[in-house]
Amino acid sequence: MCSAPTVPERDLIAQDIHAYLDRYRNKELLRFVAVGSVDDGKSTLIGRLLHDTGMVYQDQLESVKRASNIEGEEIDFSLFTDGLRAEREQGITIDVAYRYFATEKRKFIIADTPGHIQYTRNMVTGASTANVALILIDARLGVLQQSRRHAFIASLLGIPHLAVCVNKMDLVGYDQQVFERICRDFREFSDTLTIPDVSFFPVSALKGVNIVEPSEKTEWYDGPNVLEYLETVEISEDWNTESFRFPIQYVIRPNLNYRGFAAQIVSGSIEKGDEVLSLPSGKTSTVESIDTFDGSIGSAYTPQSVVIRLADEIDSSRGDMLVKKSDLPHVGRDFDAHMVWMSETPLDLQKSYLIKHTTQAVRAQVTKIHWAKNMDTLEEEPATTLELNDVAKVNMDCHRAIFFDDYGQNRATGAFILIDSLTNATVASGMIVGPETHQDLDDALKELRAGSGLQPKTQVSPKERLEKMGQRGATIWLTGLPGSGRWSLAYALERRLFDLGRTATVVDPTNEDLRSIISAAKACTDAGLVTICAFPSYHKEDRDNLRERLGDDRVIQVYVNTDEKLCRERRPDADFSGFEAPQNPDLVVALDQVRLDKAIEFIVEALEKRGQLKV
């Protein structure tokens, strides 16, 4: 086994290092994502690419040879790419791993992602920056649902080129018909997607067939091998070179005379003297200078990171975007997007999240799920929430306008991530589906100047409150005769809940009418408090009114059914007439028969059972 670079390169390195370096420094960069399940032989294929292109060092080779379980000649190529301890123990790849190799023509970054259904998240991550998706199919099994899933995700993430490697051809006797049937089956599905370019390769990663060298085993195949394809597939068109987008990252102000906007040109190009428009201000100016560490340059293009100085003093800052007037992005607060849910915690439609889009972070809410993809059938289905690895089309509403393009047109300005502001986790990725409607500059500016698109409302959802406070808001309404001990029970209950680490309050009995008291109880309950009321509410009507305003599930009615005789003895002066005993109270406690602390435990238990308190 030779692990040296391919011969001409090696000679060049030895004989003329300067010529080699000149060649190397001008190489193109291609990023590809490799997907396949545990058994498709993906690790073996990548290990083979690394090994056969000379990217495996002798000492790595030695350690892999030592670690290979199989005795004898064959090397377990998959061991080159094996990473974390946990993964080695489980024998599967559990996260995206990045690997690097170069050939005479290009330099490659591989995002190596596992292909199980539960790891959609990983494939999406790896696919987000890829030019090419390399999908592995086991020749013996043909096109499985999983392969369709992979193709679907590749298309969703806007990968322009798909390379389908039909692997393990050695196990089907290099049968051309098997290969062609798989190509047909795959095409039938991929034709329904938006992938501009699909190619097929009959390979055996294990035997090294059609990976980096042609093979006589597949004489019927006259296409390129996998490496040739990767070296030659046309990727210069993959960049959006049309629309100039410059999302400002940082303002550089070393002194009063210099104010430069630092950013990466995420698409398009710019020249000195070009007129630019700054969003959201809508102000225009001309490019006075394009600066870099190595001096000013006349023009710059994607993906260069530069500093732009403008002829006029425009107050732009991070999150703003410089664009050209003739080619504006959409400006808006609300848009549709494809979304991949990446968190164990499901989507909460009540909650506002933070989205990071280009260089700005904005509060936003998912207002609607148009559909979610059933990943087994790839059918679109209605959904009420999104869980880990769900793929859906949703509507988003932002608290202020962002500047975006359709993801299919511009990956950089069409992509966003969703962040849970309580846990700070990245919970979803989004790809904006551009609106059909055309927007001119006036429309865009109008959109920017309009008030907030969302009705101002709480940004804390009931679920978040429950998580933070360990409780959901509830009102405990104590009903009973005068002298039944309602108030004593109310205050003792408040104390007990406080000691349990809960937040509870007794609505104070000052001279308020019942309507105001109910309003107070509602406000406290909305805030997530356990609200305790003990007002005399003699009539069924009053209690119905309360239930209606607070919602049945948030009211616990406790009938304090202390013996009437005792009550009358305690409160000889009180008015006992007209009391309508509750028909269906949630709880009945008679304080002449149970001790106060026991009664309290009953109530706490009822709260827990109802899910108002997190146990």
- Window 465 to 524, contacts with other proteins (CB under 8 A): none
Options 151, 178, 206, 307; binder of other proteins; rule CB under 8 A: 307
- Quick one: which of 150, 102, 147 has its CA closest to 126? 150
Spatial separation of the C-alpha atoms in residues 494 and 492, rounded to whole Å: 5
C-beta of residue 146 within 8 angstroms of C-beta of residue 37 = yes
Residues 246-285 touching other proteins, rule: CB under 8 A, are 249-250, 252-254, 258, 260, 262-264, 266, 269
Pick between residue 291 and residue 406 the one whose CB is nearest to other proteins: 291
Pick between residue 270 and residue 600 the one whose CB is nearest to other proteins: 270
H or E segment to which residue 264 belongs: strand 260-264
Pick between residue 107 and residue 571 the one whose CB is nearest to other proteins: 107
Pick between residue 18 and residue 438 the one whose CB is nearest to other proteins: 18
Supply the DSSP symbol for 357.
Answer: E
Pick between residue 98 and residue 220 the one whose CB is nearest to other proteins: 98
Options 1, 7, 8, 25; binder of other proteins; rule CB under 8 A: 25
Options 29, 117, 500, 594; binder of other proteins; rule CB under 8 A: 29
Options 92, 102, 466, 590; binder of other proteins; rule CB under 8 A: 102
Residues 282-301 touching other proteins, rule: CB under 8 A, are 291-294, 301
- Quick one: which of 182, 46, 316 has its CA closest to 308? 316
Pick between residue 301 and residue 371 the one whose CB is nearest to other proteins: 301
Binding mask 48-87 for other proteins (x = CB under 8 A): ------x--xxxx--------------------xxxxxx-
Spatial separation of the C-alpha atoms in residues 479 and 475, rounded to whole Å: 12
User: Torsions phi, psi of 572, nearest 5?
Assistant: -60, -25
Chain mean position to CA 112 = 19
Q: Which amino acid is at 210?
A: N
In the complex, least distance from residue 361 CB atom to other proteins, rounded to whole angstroms: 8
- Strand partners of residue 404: 330
Residues 188-247 touching other proteins, rule: CB under 8 A, are 236, 239, 241
Pick between residue 86 and residue 523 the one whose CB is nearest to other proteins: 86
Residues 331-350 touching other proteins, rule: CB under 8 A, are 342
Residues 514-573 touching other proteins, rule: CB under 8 A, are none
Structure tokens at 212: 């980096």
Pick between residue 249 and residue 545 the one whose CB is nearest to other proteins: 249
Look at the alpha carbons of 542, 548, 550, 555 in this order and tell me if their dihedral is positive or negative: positive
Q: Which stretch binds other proteins (CB under 8 A): 15-23, 276-284, 484-492, 499-507?
A: 15-23
Taking CB under 8 A as the rule, does residue 595 contact other proteins? no
Chain mean position to CA 150 = 18
Taking CB under 8 A as the rule, does residue 18 contact other proteins? yes
Supply the DSSP symbol for 262.
Answer: E
Give the 3-state secondary structure of 45-76: HHHHHHHHCCCCCHHHHHHHHHHCCCCCCCCC
In the complex, least distance from residue 405 CB atom to other proteins, rounded to whole angstroms: 13
Cα atoms in the 13 Å half-sphere on the side-chain side of 328? 20
In the complex, least distance from residue 408 CB atom to other proteins, rounded to whole angstroms: 14
Binding mask 138-167 for other proteins (x = CB under 8 A): ------------------------------
C-beta of residue 133 within 8 angstroms of C-beta of residue 162 = yes
Pick between residue 108 and residue 538 the one whose CB is nearest to other proteins: 108
Pick between residue 168 and residue 357 the one whose CB is nearest to other proteins: 357
- Strand partners of residue 330: 404
User: Torsions phi, psi of 20, nearest 5?
Assistant: -60, -45
In the complex, least distance from residue 601 CB atom to other proteins, rounded to whole angstroms: 36
Tell me if the bond preceding 280 is cis, omega within 30° of 0.
yes
Taking CB under 8 A as the rule, does residue 28 contact other proteins? yes
Taking CB under 8 A as the rule, does residue 171 contact other proteins? no
Number of residues binding to other proteins, judged by CB under 8 A: 87
Q: How far is CA 164 from CA 143, 406, 553, in A?
A: 10, 27, 54
Structure tokens at 457: 């409302």
In the complex, least distance from residue 59 CB atom to other proteins, rounded to whole angstroms: 5
End-to-end CA separation in angstroms for the chain: 62
In the complex, least distance from residue 426 CB atom to other proteins, rounded to whole angstroms: 4
Options 39, 74, 90, 100; binder of other proteins; rule CB under 8 A: 100
Taking CB under 8 A as the rule, does residue 118 contact other proteins? no
Residues 350-379 touching other proteins, rule: CB under 8 A, are 354, 356-357, 359
Pick between residue 3 and residue 439 the one whose CB is nearest to other proteins: 3
Spatial separation of the C-alpha atoms in residues 76 and 68, rounded to whole Å: 5
Residues 387-416 touching other proteins, rule: CB under 8 A, are 411-412, 415-416
Pick between residue 306 and residue 469 the one whose CB is nearest to other proteins: 306
Spatial separation of the C-alpha atoms in residues 263 and 484, rounded to whole Å: 72
Pick between residue 249 and residue 385 the one whose CB is nearest to other proteins: 249
Residues 410-469 touching other proteins, rule: CB under 8 A, are 411-412, 415-417, 419, 421, 424-426, 429
- Quick one: which of 143, 129, 215, 141 has its CA closest to 172? 141
Q: Which amino acid is at 543?
A: R
Q: Who's near 431: CB < 8 A, 6+ residues apart?
A: 156, 157, 158, 337, 338, 339, 407, 414, 415
Options 92, 109, 314, 596; binder of other proteins; rule CB under 8 A: 109
Q: How far is CA 278 from CA 282, 284, 319, 325, in A?
A: 5, 6, 11, 9
- Quick one: which of 520, 479, 525 has its CA closest to 503? 525
In the complex, least distance from residue 235 CB atom to other proteins, rounded to whole angstroms: 9
Taking CB under 8 A as the rule, does residue 591 contact other proteins? no
Q: Who's near 190: CB < 8 A, 6+ residues apart?
A: 151, 155, 162, 198
Pick between residue 351 and residue 554 the one whose CB is nearest to other proteins: 351
Q: Which stretch binds other proteins (CB under 8 A): 106-114, 138-146, 175-183, 490-498?
A: 106-114
